[in-house]
Amino acid sequence: MVDTYLILAKASSVKRHLNRVVEKGNTDLETFLADIDRQESILFNLQMAVQNCIDIAAHIISEDGLGVPGSNNEMFYLLEENGYLSSKVTEKMVKAVGFRNLIVHEYGKVELRQVFEIAKKDTKDLHEYIMALFMKLGIN
């Protein structure tokens, strides 16, 4: 059985990390590119927000017996196949996981202009994911 308290705690962590991204991203591109502390804060908080989303997916899949995913991306496809996510949200999460992997495994290849754009525009994708799960699980 899915642990609602665990889901809420992880969702709260996602929100906290995304709030930090928005706070640190509330600047212009020039300032962002010149401030390594700001860059690292945003990268860390994006990484942690996505990781918490992965953790939520893993918990639901495990507790509901939805299968054994071969990768983090596959978790989101399993959620989609079982009515938790739309294909649109699934694709956004697959992209988020890809970006997280880039941060974690190939830090030197991260394009800072892309990070700035993600901080400005794409944090809503993770909120959309959380809301879709809340709706499916009946969490208010």
Helix (H, G, I), strand (E, B) or coil at 83: coil
What is the structure's pLDDT at 34? 98
**pLDDT digits over 45-104, tens only?**
999 999 999 999 999 999 999 999 999 999 999 999 999 999 999 999 999 999 999 999
Q: What is the rounded CA–CA span in Å between residue 99 and residue 108?
A: 13
Residue at token pair 């804060």: 41
Task: Fold for 4-137, please state it.
Answer: Four Helix Bundle (Hemerythrin (Met), subunit A) (1.20.120)
**pLDDT digits over 6-53, tens only?**
999 999 999 999 999 999 999 999 999 999 999 999 999 999 999 999
Q: Cβ(55)–Cβ(10) under 8 Å?
A: yes
Query: Band of the pLDDT at 108, cuts 50, 70, 90?
Result: low
Q: What is the rounded CA–CA span in Å between residue 79 and residue 10?
A: 17
Angle in degrees, CA 107, 114, 42, rounded to 5 = 65
Query: Band of the pLDDT at 140, cuts 50, 70, 90?
Result: confident
Question: Which are the contacts of 106, defined by CB distance < 8 A and separation ≥ 6?
Answer: none
Percentages helix, strand, coil for the chain (3-state, rounded to 5) are 80, 0, 20
Q: What is the rounded CA–CA span in Å between residue 39 and residue 103?
A: 12
Task: Give the predicted TM-score (pTM) of the model.
Answer: 0.95
What is the structure's pLDDT at 116? 96
Averaged over 101-113, what is the pLDDT?
86
For a pLDDT cut of 90, what percent of the chain falls above it?
Answer: 94
How is residue 92 written in tokens? 């956004």
Q: What is the rounded CA–CA span in Å between residue 2 and residue 16?
A: 22
